[in-house]
Amino acid sequence: MNSCANEVYTYLLARLGNRFDADDVFQSTFLKVRRFLPGFRGEASPTTWVMRIAMNEASSFRRRRGRELPLMDAEDALPSSALNESGFDPVAAETARDVAEGMQSLPADLRDILYFFYFKELSYEQIAALLGVPAGTVKSRIFRAKQALRAYLEAHRDHRP
């Protein structure tokens, strides 16, 4: 249980966007894990099983709360590439902020897919196994997510003075 705690917490932070909600859902996830552990038959790996519970918990948490807090402050989302020798690269900072904002506009299922693909660097097949969907669905969701994000960024560029 301890081994996948960090993995689950990182996912929840990415999914929910702030530590307060991530803490709440982390607790409820592991309460469920303890409750359902006797029924765990080992069809999936323990990490996959716990991660699925975390995904369900995150979804029901959002449904209950009906709100979405920002996916980190844009300033928190500054990559190290935004810092050059003089300390700050406004171009990289602007890009990071736009991407962070664009991510917020995506539905949760698409954001999940991007997280597993770009951050966890899982293969299509691994993501498919985790989500219980065909690999083709994973590919099409990644495509849709990128398309939506690209559209957001284009629209954002058009409205910028």
Partner 1 sequence: MTIDHKDEDLDQALRLHYHAILDGVTAPEQLRRQVLTCTEPQQGSMARWAPVLAVALAGASFLVVLASSRMAEIVFRF
The footprint of partner 1 (CB under 8 A) covers: 1-2, 5-6, 8-10, 13-14, 23, 26-27, 30-31, 34-35, 71-72, 76-81, 91, 94-96, 98-100, 103, 114-115, 118-119, 146, 149-150, 153-154, 156-157, 160
User: Distance of CA 118 to CAs 14, 97, 112, 122, 146, Å?
Assistant: 12, 17, 10, 8, 11
Is 94 or 125 the residue whose CB approaches partner 1 more closely?
A: 94
Cβ 109 to partner 1 shortest distance, Å: 16
Cβ 147 to partner 1 shortest distance, Å: 10
Cβ 115 to partner 1 shortest distance, Å: 7
State the DSSP code for 115.
Answer: I
Residue 84 CA, chain-centre distance (Å), reads 28
Is 114 or 128 the residue whose CB approaches partner 1 more closely?
A: 114
Cβ 37 to partner 1 shortest distance, Å: 12
The sign one gets for the Cα dihedral 99, 101, 102, 108 is positive
Is 3 or 66 the residue whose CB approaches partner 1 more closely?
A: 3
Is 66 or 120 the residue whose CB approaches partner 1 more closely?
A: 120
Cβ 38 to partner 1 shortest distance, Å: 14
Is 80 or 86 the residue whose CB approaches partner 1 more closely?
A: 80
Give pairs for 139-148: CB < 8 Å, separation 24+.
Answer: 141/109, 141/110, 141/113, 142/113, 142/114, 142/117, 144/110, 145/106, 145/110, 145/111, 145/113, 145/114, 146/114, 148/105, 148/106, 148/110
